[in-house]
A and B are shown apart, each in its own frame.
Chain A
């Protein structure tokens, strides 16, 4: 019998999932607070104790692997040239690698922007700009200024290939921790995600987890191998695409509402229709967006900021609450869990707003254009209308008494004809909170990870 232990060091909780590879089943799951501020091992030990208590006795594991979003996750700055092109491309690469994109800059950067990179304690910078053979002046200027300002955090250059040699010289000249890789946008509107994403992942494992005190755990486990959101994206891709004779679910959307962010993943092609003209930067098949201002605790104030004064008053009157006070309460005590029906009601409402807003920002748009040749449709972003499944994960959804109503907020409830939201999907829930763990297991045994997901990610 071979047992695997899969660990997710989250920002708040360390979650353990023990797998029996022969029975193709989950043995048990357990969790405890993440203790990265003191010693990450303490929280892990406590979680492990709880796991063994649930099982009844300690068991041996053949493999112990982990993903991590502890200690603020992976914070990145994305720098490009034009906002709609290389800036957007750089941002998408960071998100696809499982990072939080805290800063986004375009064109020539300035000293105060670099100061923000220092102040916000950015972990990795992704510097892009220029299609291959195109503009190189801007990236050279930006690399030089970063050097002059004494930036020593890892910088990945993924811009115009024609500037690579000079960029390398600049990195050497200032003794910077620079890395060179293929352009994120080699041609206008064409994306090249994988090389830069893999490099981000590598630097995360080689340097960032050490700097954050996560590496200490590697004295006890085999390895930390992925940033958590990257593991979730990997799991979602597997669940969608299938593996060998085990079929996948087809086109899916995954919604993960957490304390600090709301993450949305869509696994599907940009459009299935033949009567639309798709414009703009190429969309990734597996796309992740992260809303850093939408979350249940740390980012709860962002929910209020996304509402107008009129909407706030309407909500207060309609629901008979003081929503601003409720949000402040959650922000002040980020570890609080609902104690009564009222708390649950508020959390449910906040989650519904997060779901609606996050999809509003993730989903593509369509507009009718009247031309002398008749009506044509112009689409930007991804068409999610034919999505088969919307899958919910994260504490607030899993513990909700009305999961469906949170997930339903991703569909076109307001009948907005321009938003290409899922039309009539089935709603599933990651009831045992195993998506990240299955992303990890995919690296070892994709077939097994898929079978377990299909068993435990269930219809509401």
Chain B
């Protein structure tokens, strides 16, 4: 069974979407490790190491996602999980920015998948199946 670490990054306490993601991914047959709200990059990475996770799915709903996610791929490399899949989604930036530019910035930061506001988790689920190969 593939393992996915999920949580809400930074000083963000939006808990509802987080529970929906946990429910959906668990139902889809994944082992979900939910580290909850107010989680730091290190919390995600530590949980991923201990559980030998295949994917980290970062949620951010309060607009500061870009600051919170910066340097996360580099930390994964330092921590010995360089190849782990990194997804991010939610309201990840402030204001009405062109999403294609936002996406490019997050891809350059080392994220594998970047989702715009309002994406149903089922859309991400298709990508997860593709990336994790089951």
Report which A residues bind B (CB closer than 8 A). Answer: 81-82, 84-86, 107, 129-131, 133-137, 185, 187-189, 277, 279, 369-373, 376, 378
- A376 contacts across to B, CB distance below 8 A: 11, 13, 38
The contact of B49 among A81, A185, A187, by CB within 8 Å, is A81
B35 interface residue, CB < 8 Å from A?
yes
Cβ of A371 and Cβ of B11 under 8 Å apart? yes
Cβ of A134 and Cβ of B11 under 8 Å apart? no
- A82 contacts across to B, CB distance below 8 A: 46, 49-50
Cβ of B3 and Cβ of A369 under 8 Å apart? no
A202 and B59 CA atoms in complex are apart in Å by 45
Cβ of A188 and Cβ of B35 under 8 Å apart? yes
B31 interface residue, CB < 8 Å from A?
yes
The contact of B11 among A84, A85, A136, A370, by CB within 8 Å, is A370
- B47 contacts across to A, CB distance below 8 A: 85, 188-189
Q: How far is the CB of B115 from chain A (nearest CB, A)?
A: 20
- A131 contacts across to B, CB distance below 8 A: 33, 50-51
CB<8 Å pairs between A and B, sample of 26 = A82-B46, A82-B50, A84-B46, A86-B50, A130-B52, A133-B31, A133-B51, A134-B3, A135-B50, A135-B52, A136-B52, A188-B47, A277-B13, A277-B37, A277-B38, A279-B39, A279-B43, A369-B11, A369-B38, A370-B11, A371-B11, A371-B12, A371-B13, A372-B62, A376-B38, A378-B38
Interface residues on B, range: 20 to 34
A134 and B32 CA atoms in complex are apart in Å by 12
A378 and B52 CA atoms in complex are apart in Å by 27
Q: Which of B46, B50, B80 has the most C-beta atoms of chain A within 10 angstroms of its own C-beta?
A: B50
Chain A contact residues: helix, strand, loop or mixed: loop
A458 and B127 CA atoms in complex are apart in Å by 65
Given A188-B33, A188-B35, A279-B43, also A135-B12 (CB < 8 A): no
B74 interface residue, CB < 8 Å from A?
no
Q: How far is the CB of B81 from chain A (nearest CB, A)?
A: 10
B117 interface residue, CB < 8 Å from A?
no
- B46 contacts across to A, CB distance below 8 A: 82, 84-85, 188
For the complex of A and B, the 5 pairs showing the least CB-CB separation, nearest first, are: A134-B51, A135-B52, A82-B46, A369-B11, A188-B47
A369 and B37 CA atoms in complex are apart in Å by 12
A103 and B53 CA atoms in complex are apart in Å by 28
- A188 contacts across to B, CB distance below 8 A: 33, 35, 46-47, 50-51
Cβ of A372 and Cβ of B63 under 8 Å apart? yes
B122 interface residue, CB < 8 Å from A?
no
A185 and B31 CA atoms in complex are apart in Å by 16
Interface digits, B6-36 against A, CB 8 Å rule (1 contact, 0 not)? Answer: 0000011110000000000000000101011
- B13 contacts across to A, CB distance below 8 A: 277, 371, 373, 376
- A133 contacts across to B, CB distance below 8 A: 1, 3, 31, 51-52
Nearest chain B residue, comparing its CB with the CB of A189:
B35
- B33 contacts across to A, CB distance below 8 A: 131, 187-188
Q: How far is the CB of A46 from chain B (nearest CB, A)?
A: 51
B131 interface residue, CB < 8 Å from A?
no
- A81 contacts across to B, CB distance below 8 A: 49-50
A277 and B3 CA atoms in complex are apart in Å by 25
Q: How far is the CB of A187 from chain B (nearest CB, A)?
A: 7
